[in-house]
Structure 1
Amino acid sequence: MSENSNDQTSKPTMGEQVKSSLTELPMDMLKSQLRELKDAAMGRAVGHAKGWVDNATDRLNEVASGERDVGGVLGRSASKAGEEAVEGGSPAKGALKGALSGVKDKVKDAIPGMGGGGGGGGGKATKSTNFVDSIDVGVPVHVAYNQWTQYEDWPDFMKKVETAQQEDDEPKVDMKAQVFWSHRSWQSTIKEQIPDQLIVWRSTGQKGHVDGSVSFHELAPRLTRILVTLEYYPQGFMERTGNIWRAQGRRARLEMKHFRRHVMMNTILAPDEVTGWRGEIHDEEVTKTHDDAVAEQEQQEQEDQEQEGQEQEGQDQEGQEQEGREDEEGRAAQEGQQEEGEGQQEGGEQSEDEANGETDEEDSDLGEEQEKSEETGQQDTTEGDDEGGEEPEPESDGEDELTGEEPPAEEDTDASESDEARE
């Protein structure tokens, strides 16, 4: 075991082996090679820098002599640097501005549809971005129209609109909005405007403009659809760059959503406080001012109220007349019933009187017959006594007198015989 331990202690470690290998390398040769590589790299860099400086100097000389167009990046840089130096400013700052201006022109020339107008972007725009969309708001059509035409409220709920103002009774609307980090202004001229129906406009601006129309459609008494159609003509570097991915269309759609949110959250609470602009415009001329339109509307509402009041009075009067006729008919029917009842009662009394009269006549007839029968009986008795005592026939029972029935036929025979006897 002692021999094994001695073998382990005598074996060199990894670090010792690496160190011994490095000591065996030719370090002097390696160091010399590294020095030569460094000198070569420095010489090459200096050569490139010298060539770049010489090239720049030649270009500046060409610019100064008029042999090179100043519209390039370096030309713009040198030109702006010289202007800043003459004005007492910083040449470096001027060179930077000139270089950025040259790069901007290069990009405009490289992208199709963005060239041809110079650095100021003042050329006429030839390509437009079309935008068509609609929103539904839960208010009557006149409330939606009034809020739309109250342009001074737009910056309160639209994110990128900075100012919006319409001149008094003029078909002009001045707008200012933010495009990326730039601020753009334009003026819109209203060609046609009919309250609660449509607005059509054209606009002008240094960095592009927007033409379009908006129409209002009543879907229900408390539901309105707003249809917006836009033609955006970008002009300028930032506008054209944003137009590549249709940023303006997305922004317009978002602003419409902001309008709907404002109407449904604020305008709906106090719709009468939003007056808008109720005038009319035809062929870019104001044919009816806002005050005239409001006065006419108030007069129309007053006439409608008066007409409704008259119609209501007529309906009330007609209802009263109808009630009077019904009352008269009811009274007439009641009187007729009473007269009919009285007639029936009189008829009943008359029938009773007639019945009583008939009864009295029958009683009198019975009495007369009874008297005649008695007289006849007495005569028969007298004759019987005279003829030898024939027995008279028995008289009728008292029931006949009580019932009022006529005597039997035999009594009539006896009466006739007695009459013959008297004769």
Structure 2
Amino acid sequence: MTKTDDAPKQDEKSAIDHLREEMANYMGARLDRAAETVGQKVTDLTGRLTDVTENGGELPGIGSRLLQGESPVRALVSEKAKSAASGVADKVKDAFGGGGGGKPGGPKVTNMIEVLDVGVPLRVAYDKWTQYEDFSGFAKGVQSVSTEDDATTTWKTKVGPSTRSFEATIQEQIPDDRIVWTSDGSKGTTQGAVSFHELAPNLTRIVLVVEYYPSGFFEKTGNLWRAQGRRLRLDFKNFQRHVTLTDEEVEGWRGEIRDGEVVRTHEEAMEEEEGGEDGEETGDETEPAADETGADEDAEEVEEEDGSEGR
């Protein structure tokens, strides 16, 4: 073999040796840096331990691990893992019952306020709202509604994957004015009020205010994403469409409820309305009769005067 053939092999060997040397230098630098970092941590820890010894106090987590025989590196890794786990636990606690929003440890609350204007008279808007069993026809979040009595209804609703049933009790109901209710179910409770305001003869403003207290894992998860608020907003708009575009006349519940008790039934309210209308009609009929009688009397007096003058 000639010298010319040996030259490429020597150059290749030299390049490999140089690469190995550079790799060794790199790994050495990384190890030195790691050792320096750990050394600094240990130095800081030594200072903290000295401070505890001289001034009294509680040993930090790493210090207690070192006293139990763990190596400085392992103690640092263990404390970092513990800190990360604690952070995750705090986030879960905040999400499902603890911290932030309301009283410490208290239930999460979703506050919902919606305002809509509908192009119908005040009475029409109110009457159609009281037809609760019709809600399942236009509200996608309502599966069914059954009326137990004048103040109590049972609702079956759905928000995303969560289905829940609850019983609603009307606490106050004033015709053409407002309805205030509370509800209780296995997955949450609510307090709500809806009020009706006449803006013009054919324009009514409806204000809806609801506080929702979720209960259970899935309900609280939905609460984080405000799923209930979005569902309520969409169904409220569906009511706006329903009441504006539906020409069908309905007879709403015209009774009155105060403090959860019916103080005037629907039948009593309708009788009072009909009685008032009858009274107005009767008054209109009697007034012309009185005028006619008066006119006849005046005519007789005129005739008597004419007869007297003639005689």
Instruction: Give, in angstroms, the shift of residue 127 of structure 1.
Output: 2.3
Are 2:97 and 2:108, in contact at CA under 8 Å, matched by a contact in 1? Answer: no
After the TM superposition, which parts of structure 1 deviate over 3 Å for at least 4 consecutive aligned residues? 106-109, 308-311, 314-318
Partner of 1:298: 274
Work out which of the residue numbers 129, 133, 147 in structure 2 matches 1:166: 147
Q: Does 1:110 align with 2:92?
A: yes
- Normalised to the residue count of structure 1, the TM-score between the two structures is 0.44
Q: What SS class does the counterpart of residue 159 from structure 1 fall into?
A: coil
Deviation at 1:307, TM superposition (A): 2.9
Q: Which has the higher contact order (CA 8 A, sep 6+)?
A: 2
Note if contact 1:193-1:280 (Cα within 8 Å) is conserved in structure 2.
Answer: yes
Question: Matched residues in 2 for 1:307 and 1:157: separation?
Answer: 44
Structure 1 residues 227, 316: CA separation in 2 closer, same or farther (over 3 Å shift)? farther
Q: CA deviation at 1:252?
A: 0.9
Question: Aligned in 2, Cα 1:237/1:301: closer, same or farther, shift over 3 Å?
Answer: same
Q: Does 1:145 align with 2:126?
A: yes
Does 1:203 pair with 2:187?
Answer: no
Give ranges in structure 2 of 5+ residues lacking alignment: 1-87, 99-104, 303-311
Q: Report the Cα distance in structure 2 between the residues aligned to 1:310 and 1:126, rounded to whole angstroms.
A: 65
SS of 1:167 mapped into structure 2: strand
Separation (CA, whole Å) in 1 of partners of 2:89 and 2:254: 47
DSSP-derived class of the 1:233 partner: strand
Distance 1:160 1:239 in 2: 15
Higher strand share: 2
Q: How far is 1:304 from its partner?
A: 2.4
- Determine the C-alpha separation between the residues in 1 that align with 2:204 and 2:281: 25
**Alpha-carbon distance between aligned partners in 1 of 2:121 and 2:187, rounded to the nearest angstrom:** 37
Q: Cα distance 1:317–1:127, how it changes in 2: closer, same or farther (>3 A)? A: farther
Tell me which residue corresponds to 1:262: 242
Determine which of 243, 258, 265 is the counterpart of 1:282: 258
| C-alpha displacement of 1:159 | 0.7
Deviation at 1:233, TM superposition (A): 0.8
Secondary structure of 1:230's partner? strand
Q: Which has the larger radius of gyration?
A: 1
Structure 1 pair 159–287 and aligned structure 2 pair: CA distance change class (3 A): same
Per-residue deviation at 1:109?
A: 7.8
Q: Distance in 1 between matches of 2:225 and 2:290?
A: 65
Residue by residue over 1:336-364, the C-alpha shift from the partner in whole angstroms, topping out at 9 and shown as x without a partner, is xxxxxxxxxxxxxxxxxxxxxxxxxxxxx
Q: How many residues align?
A: 205
3-state SS of the aligned residue for 1:196?
A: coil
Aligned to 1:224: 204
Which of 149, 154, 162 lines up with 2:135 in the alignment?
A: 154
Equivalent-residue separation in structure 2 for 1:279 and 1:306 (angstroms): 26
Identity %: 48
1:224-243 correspondence to structure 2 within 5 Å: 224-243=204-223
User: Which amino acid in 2 is paired with 1:187?
Assistant: E
Decide whether aligned partners of structure 1 residues 108 and 249 sit closer, same or farther in structure 2, where only a CA change above 3 A counts.
farther
How far 1:107 moved relative to its partner? 8.6
> Residue 245 in 1 paired to residue 225 in 2?
yes
CA deviation vs aligned residue, 1:321-341 (integer Å, no higher than 9, x gap): 6xx99xx9xxxxxxxxxxxxx
- Residues 1:129 and 2:110 are matched in the alignment: yes
- Verify the 8 A CA contact 1:192 1:284 in the aligned structure 2: yes
| Distance apart, 1:245 and its partner CA | 2.3
- The letter for the 2-side match of 1:168 is D
- Aligned residue type for 1:142: R
- What is the root-mean-square deviation of aligned Cα atoms in Å? 2.7
Contact 2:97 2:106 in 1 (8 A): no
Residues 141 and 316 from structure 1, CA distance in 2 versus in 1: closer, same or farther, beyond 3 angstroms? farther
1:128–1:231 Cα contact (<8 Å) kept? yes
Letter in 2 for 1:167: E
How far 1:253 sits from its partner (Å)?
A: 1.1
Structure 1 residues 146 and 315: alpha-carbon distance in aligned structure 2, compared to 1, 3 A threshold? farther
User: What letter corresponds to residue 280 of structure 1 in structure 2?
Assistant: E
Q: 1:293 and 1:178 mapped to 2: Cα distance?
A: 35
Equivalent residues of 2:97, 2:107 under 8 A apart:
no
Using structure 2 for the length normalisation, give the TM-score: 0.60
Cα offset for 1:173? 1.6
Shift of 1:316: 7.6
